[in-house]
Structures are given as structure tokens and as C-alpha cells.
A and B are shown apart, each in its own frame.
Chain A
Amino acid sequence: MPLLDVQDLTKLFALKGGLFQKQTNYVHAVEDVSFQIEKGESFGLAGESGCGKTTCGKLLVRLIDPTEGHIYFKGEDIAYLKGSALKEFRKNVQMIFQDPYESLNPRFSIMDTIAEPLIIQDIGTPEEREELVANALKTVDLNPPEDFIFRFPHELSGGQRQRIAVARALVINPEFIVADEPMSMLDVSIRAGVMNLLLELKERFNLTLVFVTHDLAVARYMCNRVAIMYVGKMVELAETEELIGNPYHPYTKALLSAVPVPDPKEKRERIELRGRVPTPINPAPGCRFAPRCEYAKDICAQQDPVLTEVESGHWIACFQRG
């Protein structure tokens, strides 16, 4: 049984407008997304800005409520949990946010920040909590913990803050962690350190990682499997190396051709897409990518392609089938 089994997950945001705030439009942030994540896996959600990858991550930790679909966590549907059942579920998940300058409360000391999940879930006595916080600081290489425990976020650097955020996520021993582009706000020089730390901790605590990123190079380094999203839809899903070495979907191909290669002599075909990303507000039927796709046929504008397995473990949503 997979740790997480996501079935037809959909999130529509209502746009209120017009006289008397009549609901008129919906932003289709995530639509009919299905995938499974195994225990101990590092799963990447990739795509450009506005493709719904962050929304998808937030749905998994129930930060926002899904409109439709199911999320089975260890066989139990957690998509519509409420109250104490939801609080119980929250012991299993944590999230690491993009910007460590924003994700730590400026008025909380490091102790307050890291101990918060423990306090909310009522774990341990104050003394035990302090012990747990100190241990968490050690696991993220902030040594000695006493130097940090009563400091405030503004006294720390960006890399240290992100380590604090990781420590906070780890302190209640969650089953899986959703990391929402945790490197993108960090200097390139300290990115590698935080990435290696996450990978190391994943091995050590047998964590399951959902990694949201727009950077395919980061996804390649961090993830076992990667799913590519485009305007709320999942277009391709495969093992990382397979996806990068043998992409099927025309959008994935274009995306990969935009990743810079550190060799100025290497000549390669650069796929330039026509037009712009369509709006996710009341999108037209058919494949979302069809208006920009050079292989588009009549059927592409009429029917939604379904994510199907074309090779073992390689899923794509395209009528072209590669």
C-alpha cells in the first residue's frame, strides 16, 4: 500500500465578482490529479509559476481544503477530515516553506518556533520539549544548540533560518514532509548544504519527501520520481532519470530544453513555444497544452487526455503517446 494515494484531486478557487458578489468564475488551480507516493520516496512536483504545484503541496498537508477527490494516507481518506481527526493527522505531516524570512514568526524565539508543534500536539513536559528542541537543532547542524535556542529569527542568516524551519518540521517525527521550493530564496552557495541536509535526514528518519520546485536541476538532485504539471494538470510522471533522459510529453521536452547546460560548445535544439501560458480561469476543454503544441490534432482541443502508463512507471497525459 502506498503511503499516499491521491485520487482525482481537484481544487477550484472561486472568483467573486460583479454586482452582489455573484460567484462567476473559478480558477482551476489543480484538476483531476492522481498519483501515489511510496514510503521513503522523494517525489518531485515540478512546473512553471502558476501551474498548481504549490497548491497541490498545500492540499496534501490539508493547509487548504480540496474541492473534489481523495487523499488516502495509509489507506485512510484524509481529504475531508475535520476537528480532532484533522489535528491527529497533522502529527504525521509537516511543511517547509519557500521563504525562511517569512515562514518564521519574527516575535517567536527559536525555542518557541521549534517547540510549537509539540505544544499544539501536547507532547512532553516543558523540560522534555527543550531537550527535543535541542536535539532537533543538532540534527540540522546548528551547534551548539544553546547558541540558537533563545535567539530570534532576525539574528540569523537565511541558511540558518531554513535549517530552523527544517528542525521545526522534524521535531514531531512526521511521516512525510512537503517542501515548497525550500532552496529558491537561498544563496546558491548555501543551497547545496540545505539540499544535502534534507537528503541525509530523509535517509536517517526514513522520511517521505514531497518536493515542490520549478528547478529541474534541483528536482534531479533531490527526487526519485518527478511529476510535471501544466496549468493545474499533471502532464507527465516518471522516474527522474527516465523523465529527463526520455521525455514524452511535448511540454516536458520544451521545459527540459530550457535548462541551461554548463558547456558553451554544446549545440542543442531549443524548443521555443508559441504563445503564452493560458489562464487557469475557466479553461477551455481539451488538453491544456493544445494551443501551444506543435503536434496538436483535432482531438486535443475536444477531449481531456488522461494520464496513462505508456511504459513501466512512465505516465503521460497526451494523445500523441510520445
Chain B
Amino acid sequence: MEEQKPRTKWEARIQQWKKSWEMYKENKIGLVGIGLLVFFFVFAVLGFVMPHIDPIYHPMTGFDPFIVSKSPPSITHLLGTDFWGRDIMSQLMSGAQIAFLIGLTAAVVAVAIGTTVGLVSGYYGGTTDTLLMRTVDIVLTLPFLPLIIVVSAAVGKQSIWVLVLIIALLSWGGISRVIRSQTLSLKQRPFVEAARVAGATDARIIFRHIGPNVLPLSFLYMSFLVLGAILTEAGVSYLGLGDPTRVSWGIMLQWCRTTGSTFTWYWMLPPGLCITLMTLSFYLIGRAVDEIVNPRLRKR
């Protein structure tokens, strides 16, 4: 198969992306992950549309006037309603939005911090390295729950942005270790020496030469961080430390528990399943990316 020779920079880029996608496509598990992710994405987008069709589908304020208590699945409420007569399906959609919001923002912030710290620490070494890595030690050992309780109390209100910030600030440690070790090996490679002979500055070497070479690894860890952030938010909300002004899957579970409906299957099961499937989707994607980033894992 003789492929076309790229004539411009962008053609070359697109060809590279196509090749990566070809490689990813080989992995059935990864395709399942992408499928699940697309499903949840559509689900989350639908969540914005539903309240405009009928206000009773608003996850927070959509109290159905004809229903006074929790009700099993029906034609108007496909998954039934909660204790206050609100549509569970709409709440699930809202939960998907929150999951994406928290998962992606926390992961992006954590990856940005972790990658930068890892690059700088690995590249400069010496005292810089020691200082940054001891900071990482502290970050890695900070206990999560006590911290979130203290911060929530200090801030005075429970907001998902506080949650995102805390998750991000507590989860970049692992990434920076991995990126640092990768940087240690990359900075010894001759193409870095070649850049230095040409007169490249440290910043250029770090961000143009080493950075792009560790990026696939950052991306891989990002998918696992998204997973972690979603689970953390669910856990914290379940304990009642979440943001009560937004409906997330964890908050749904908490409402379910506090109203004594733990065994109401149509209320308890859907948010639990959603959390499982969405984290599973990111886990599967992460594994598929792992096989591309670490060729040793590839099946022959």
C-alpha cells in the first residue's frame, strides 16, 4: 500500500493522527470504551435539552405535580421518580454532565501540573529535583477526606469547583513521578544534544523536544485521573460533602440513602451503574492507549 506523500505540515499531522487511530482501532476493548464514552456524552447533552421540552424534566426543580412520592418506571418517567417526584432519568443526565465536568477539569489541571513538575524536575535535576520531589511526597501522602471536610468548612459552602480544585491538587503527584523518570531518560538522548549544539534554550528543549515525547504518557495517565476524579466526587457526595445545588450521581445516591430508599432498585441502581460504566469507559480507553504508548504490551 503506497500512501500519499504529505505536501504540507497539516497533511503530515493528519496522516499521523490517522495512523494512531488505525492502531487504536485494532483494540476491541478500546472501541468499547469509546462507545461507552460517546453514549454518556450524548446522554449529557440530552440533559441540557430535556428541561426545555417539559419543565418536569428539570433535575432539580422538576417536581411532577401528579406524583407525591417515589414512583417506579412509567411512560412519562422512564426510570421512575425520586422521593420528591423528580424524574430519575433527567437526574442521571445531569449527573453525566457533572461527571464530565469534574472528571475532565480535575484531570486536565492535574496533568498540566504533574507534567510540568515532572519535566522541570527531571530536566534540571539537583536541588530543583529534590525540592519538587519532596513536595510530591507530601502531596502523595495528604489524606483526602479530612482535607475536603476542613476545606469545605473553611470555604463555608460546598461547591464542585472547590472539589475539582482539591482533587486536582491532590492527584498530580503520581504523574509527575512518571514524567520525571521519562524525562531523565529522554534528556540523555542525542536529539536533545543536537538541539543544544544548535543553541536551543532549556525552555525550548523542555517544551519542544522532551514535552511532546512524554505527552502520550500524560494522556494515558489523564484517562486514569478522570476515572479517579469521578469516583472521588461520587464518594464525597455520597457522604454528604458534595455540592447540594447540582445533581450528580453521588448526590443521587446520597438522597436515596437519606430517604431510606436503599433497596428501591429503580432509584439506587441507575446512578451506581452509571458510575461503574463511565469509569469503566475511561479505564478501557486508558488501557487501549497504554498498549499504543508501551509497545511491549502489544500482542504480536
Binding site for B on A (CB under 8 A): 58, 61, 63, 86-87, 90-91, 93-95, 97-99, 102-109, 111, 116-117, 120-121, 146-147, 150-152, 165, 168, 172
Contacts and interface: CB of A to CB of B under 8 A. Distances in A.
A278 to B, nearest CB: 26
Contacts of B5: 146-147, 150-151
B9 A102 contact: no
Contacts, number: 71
Nearest to A111: B9
A98 B189 CA distance: 11
B200 A116 contact: yes
Contacts of A106: 213
A102 B186 CA distance: 10
B194 interface: yes
Given A95-B193, A120-B200, A150 B213 contact: no
B195 interface: yes
A117 B12 contact: no
Nearest to A106: B213
- In this complex, the interface size class of chain B, counting residues with CB under 8 Å from chain A, is 20 to 34
Contact of B11 (A86, A116, A117, A150): A150
B197 A103 contact: no
A105 B197 contact: no
Contact of A63 (B6, B196, B209, B212): B196
Interface string B189-208: 11101111111100010000
Contact of B199 (A58, A102, A109, A120): A120
A150 B194 contact: no
Given A107-B213, A116-B200, A150-B6, A97 B12 contact: no
29 contacts: A58-B193, A86-B199, A90-B197, A90-B199, A93-B197, A97-B194, A99-B190, A103-B190, A103-B191, A103-B193, A105-B191, A105-B195, A105-B209, A107-B212, A107-B213, A108-B191, A109-B12, A116-B195, A116-B198, A117-B198, A117-B199, A120-B198, A120-B200, A120-B204, A121-B198, A146-B7, A150-B6, A152-B16, A165-B194
B8 interface: yes
B199 A121 contact: yes
A206 to B, nearest CB: 21
Contacts of A63: 193, 196-197
Nearest to A178: B197
